[in-house]
Structure 1
Amino acid sequence: MAAVGQVIRSEWTKIRSVRSTVWTLGLAVLVTVGLGVLICTLISRDIEVRPDRDRPPFDATNLSFAGMGLGQLAMIVFGVLVVSNEYSTGMIRASLAAVPQRGTFLFCKLTVATALVFAVGLVTSFATFFAGQAALGDLRAHLGEPGVLRAVIGGALYMTLIALFSMAVATMLRSPMLSLGILMPFFFLISNVLSNVSATRRIGHYLPDQAGQKITQVIPRTTDDVPYGPWGGLGILIGWTVVALAGGYLTLRRKDA
């Protein structure tokens, strides 16, 4: 246990000493909160000018997280950099020489990074909710309403799992350019295309981001044909992450640094 504690402290030092990883987390907060407030403000003004009978039902809580789709970009970059920086600089050889137990090394690295992302994600999730609801004014949702607290905490869980999934992919690919070159199109192009084309919509429902974002919904969409609920969607994202982590561990164990 003492060895694990030393490795965890070492990994914490690595993360906080690299400016790029710190900046990406800060960017995730700013983008998620800022874009969420902007969209809530625009939607609020649009709805207020309509007669009551023409006002469509909408999910005020989920609307606060409208910026999360772009904010997750920073979380993906953070996850990739945490792992692949050591490969690109050659530091991985020294790290594995100091910690020959590769499972312990990977566990400590992912534990530290995941804990940090969850803390940042939790602050971001609550901040974007309260800021977004303030922008909605009388249309706001309240934290004590059914499903709202689950959605807010779920936002933090979603961002954490996306970052952890990215770490696992980077562990398998061991290259920042290759990892980002696959993850970015996957989340921001392929996922959207598959989810919006009728022939592939069912496949899109089971992609990690499309499924995971269900946890931030409180009011189901009237046109939603997804066959699972918020927790089912989060479970699908967890499944993707577990598979990626297994692949990352096997790659680290079998390949030389």
Structure 2
Amino acid sequence: MTPEQARAALAAARRVAVLTGAGVSAESGIPTFRDAQTGHWARFRPEDLASPQAYWRDPELVWDWYAGRYRDVMAAEPNAAHLLLAELEREKGTGFFLATQNVDGLHGRVGSGTLGGTLAELHGNLTHARDEVTGEVHALPAPDALTLPPTSPAGNRMRPNVVWFGEDLPGDALEAAQDAFAAADVALVIGTSGVVYPAAGLAAWTLRRGGVAVEINPQATDLTPHMTLSLRAGAAEGLRLLMTPPSG
């Protein structure tokens, strides 16, 4: 399939499912999960900080790390890729589904999930925390007002509202994503390495049902050989190529 054919397929599609990964947030200056290990944190593996075992062993240490990531996220701004996906949602309405592996909340800040379609944050959202007792989720205060560890309105300690190593993805979000990709005419896989399952397997549902799957990534990934088309481009550049009508 050529880029021109992919553009035509996306324009004609009634149902579009999108998976985004760290490459989308990188264009906002947010480091990837592993690239966040700098300075003081360079002596830790991410697995040493992002697991239930690490949290129960030293919740203050884990919260110190997440508070730094939270500050970085809140200082960042959504980029052109986030805006283009919001535009695509407006166009497709209820036929649009966006599943993201990112926990930075940037898709939500441009309105994704409120413009007619659906947003599923498969790995959670680090701008929120979860009451350890009730399971209720609450937005964190502004970074300069954040006290660690944060407590819920009920007075209980809260943990970061993200999926850690060894934990399952939220079952309802994963099931909704699988259903959306299975029903999609076109699937877009943007800025993800394609090695973290089950999210990396979502496009396969589209392909099995005869749909088109387009990858946007500057580098080849494990998913590349299976895609209908792979565009070697950054997230915003690739989306512009697919969404901009040809001139003339």
Fold match (TM-score > 0.5): no
Q: Which has the higher helix share?
A: 1
How does the TM-score come out when normalised to structure 2? 0.30
Q: Which has the higher strand share?
A: 2
